[in-house]
Structure 1
């Protein structure tokens, strides 16, 4: 099993007791007395930590070494105490001193393994590699640890080689608007990159330390002063690990149980930490509820990340391993899909090439829907937790994780990253020196080789085309190349707005539906100029069913001079079928139109046949023929639209007067259309 026992777990193999050192390797009685006094001191509790008083024992160990500089047992005990105090440098020095005194200190060589792990976790990779290799050369070395030592050697070799090829990395503190003397970590960002939500560790008026959410708004290039989320979100207990839905109106986060008070007023959970969900209506966040479905369990669920289409949730599920004082939490990455009723389905654990026998955390799915970033201490790395990326393959599998490289990763713990939708920038949490507090948020430019697919956000507003009232409506975006649905969501019930992210340079179909309105559809190519971050905007005018306006079927396609439906049209026509099934009294007339180019008679015949093809498809889908008629108009009814107070009719003469071929082609395309009119309802 590839399991490196990191600094905090080394205590399992270096327990100190008088019995262990019944035969001291010194005859200096004063040195022995100091060592035994140090052991007695560890039986006391440190009043500040409640742990054995290793800090108080350290001076006694130093005095023992002063009395006998060759007292190797004292050096080993010093290393053990330093490990327990989290002082790796002192522990390394103590082990090295013991080896210098007696290179053949242990027939099993275990001291070399302990030292190599410490050196690797402290960024001293060359030394760690040498001592790990020394362990493998000792004839009496314990074979039980052979696999772990070989894995340690691979990690040291990986780190040494990676440091020869550093990534361009210049982290910049995001500023005093966000960072404070308190620790800030686990950020999330709206897809328009305008609002940052993060976790801050704070102490309340009673001195109780707990986690709350704070938000900051982009102020023309810098982050404004952070404000706490409202009290129905922030409770006196722990909230953390937030993830925004693409539009910033839905928030999924972690709420944890307080041993004294549970989850807090109005909240119920299943385990020590659960996922909760809240929605913003207008400017108000509703009271959170336990995430509906089968995600939460008696284990702990944490650090969620929601895909840009809102249908897939990634999160960490933790389990306890070991027992007693060796009880440790380890996490794995799980994925859940939303079900038609809005609940979340049975989670699936990501495969073993992503999850390891150690621990994964801080998962983040990029807006491209396929690039997953996460933290782990179980893959090849530099020590502690490193950051990795894996990509979902076309068959649904996941690529082997790639370490983000040095110096993004170091021997310290790197445990949270989010990447902007355009892939250019990232935000990382770090406790690196020089920050404003114990842990700060930093931004940096993503190196090219670890960038995700570039996406851009698309915004719009759904409204009644007659009254101009804003509408809540269901909208769907489909990738016309793959025929796959990439987004399904609702516009805001208060202001009709929606925001989604989409990979650039693809063809999409947008369909919007609402009861008592005609379906709306349009296709578009999301071509974006290189390095442009301008959002794509598209408003959606919904025609009430009582309106006499023609409804364009922009996602119905035919090949040139053909009336055979292309398969890309089926998504659109299936929505029309659904609309007719949901409104059984509605009758429609399907109309075909062409542009003015070509022979008039041929255009009339072509448009007539195209309208018939659509009608035939609907009949084959079960719509009664008595509810449908079809008619072709050729080029006789040019497309007409309003521009301000002016009505524009795209006649042949008007098109000839346009300035560019691009404008002329667009006008011809508007004239080539399939539409329907409601004739009865």
Structure 2
């Protein structure tokens, strides 16, 4: 019946375990198939000692016990064994010399379960006293329970516990023992505590306290369960925003493993069945596009329930700017030089890592020779680059190739020094400009700068189309026979009939509202948060202390940030300061001052185009 014990029976009927000697203090390994116990001889008129034995269990039967091989002289008593879960570490009580008092606790180790244990080590002053330390019990490999009459307590033998830990240099040590207090301890002797292997918060101990049934009685106890949970928030170090879908992996010191994915608010959670008492926890947090990070936490030594918190900050892997290489050619040549094949390898890598990009290849010549010759030459130059990219596995549908001949002189975007002359940023290499240069060598350098193939990102939404296996059709090379205009088509807003102009900030596409005379240029909070989440901007792009400006899903109204770039059509400008406006409907509002940074322009209201010179 529930709550009642069955009749007591012997461990074995064959008396393999029980003999004329005294047997006691059994300890079973974690698989319950090996029993370690103490056997004390009782030979009359002899000095009798105790030894530790082991016996293998098969069903209800036990094998013939054999002495556990411990490097201890047989004239000393050793007993009351407890072992680590891997059975490579044993603790016991002994009266060996060089101890601290009467009977001390000792520890010995071995490399394999088939090996004998080495010479024992006294547990030292942290555990042992001038009195007796007896009946050790190791729990979770991290908590040592034992009885002592050499410490301040309630009675004779009291039950204590100490935590078994490892320092930063890998050395084992015990914390200061703690008296288990009442009701486990009493004014009498209390000792021999063990825990139920399955009901973790239940166990037994012996005591000769008053109102017992004999000398030493066995008592049971139930410890109020200690409940732990673990949660935290994973944030982006650069943007301070929560990261959705990060993988949090937890390895527990008992060998178990658990996983959790962060929610939309960046939260992960492990429940009480995963976060158990007296365990160490190692956590690893990973997310594509971020450096993996780790952390640890422990419930060892915690005696009351607690909701643990461990937050993580992930550092984004730096987004390498998409630097588009230039290809230069010898006069009247279209073959790729080896050094520019290396440049194209960089472009191939970019295209492979960003499979949504669409690239325009624009081939140009200098102004020497006839237009017809230069048109053919630019077409061949574009074709040589396209052929190379397609051979290297780039989908031809991602390539828009155009030959411009001599019609589009190069505009220098950064200072370039060639032949001892510095071509300043903003310079257009027209025939009249080249004719004005100081000498033939500098003029030839300018002509070479005009002979190029340029690469421009014109789309970020490529989706591959199914093709017959093995079929790759190179794109047709378009010859542009008129000077191309740099223009974009705008739409009109529904509310106030104002201009909405397509643009992009890095790979983030949007339409901005053109307000020619507005004093402030501004960005909506939603757009700014999108840029943060896509790592196009970071906390460092905000003016002031980002900790005071950025919070979860919020940016302080009026905060100023610097956009790294803004592209309209083929034009691009850098470092645009904008103010965050939370209540703004439009993603971005720009004035005439900013638009003029792209160069002079005209507006064709009939075709709804903005045309840049």
Q: TM-score range by the shorter chain?
A: 0.3 to 0.5
Larger Rg: 2
TM-score, length-normalised on structure 1? 0.35
Q: Which has the higher contact order (CA 8 A, sep 6+)?
A: 1
Larger % of helix: which? 1
TM-score, length-normalised on structure 2? 0.39
